[in-house]
Amino acid sequence: MYIQDHLVVWVKKYLCKTHSKKGAKCIIDDINQRIATVPAFIGIYPPQGQGFKQ
């Protein structure tokens, strides 16, 4: 299990304990929606002329 997975599991457990399960689901859905709307790797450009191939 990666550290990111552990963090997600911990946050979900925390939200379920501090809010109702329905409230936690709403918060998680909101987080997921916000993450989905952000472009991945914004502002990252490969160096030109460095032999970078994709």
DSSP state of 49: T
Task: Determine contact, residues 30/23, Cβ cutoff 8 Å.
Answer: no
pLDDT tier for residue 43 given thresholds of 50, 70 and 90 = low
Domain presence at residue 24: yes
Domain presence at residue 1: no
Residue 25 confidence (pLDDT): 95
Owning domain of residue 12: 6-34
- C-alpha distances in Å from residue 50, one per residue of 16, 42, 43: 48, 20, 18
Domain presence at residue 20: yes
Residue 30 confidence (pLDDT): 95
pLDDT tier for residue 23 given thresholds of 50, 70 and 90 = very high
Domain presence at residue 39: no
Strands (E), the chain: none
Closest by Cα among 13, 33, 9 to 21: 13
Domain presence at residue 28: yes
Q: Report how far residue 43's alpha carbon sits from residue 39's, in angstroms, rounded to the nearest whole number.
A: 10
Q: Give the total number of structural domains in the chain.
A: 1
Output the pTM of the full model.
0.62
Residue 47 confidence (pLDDT): 64
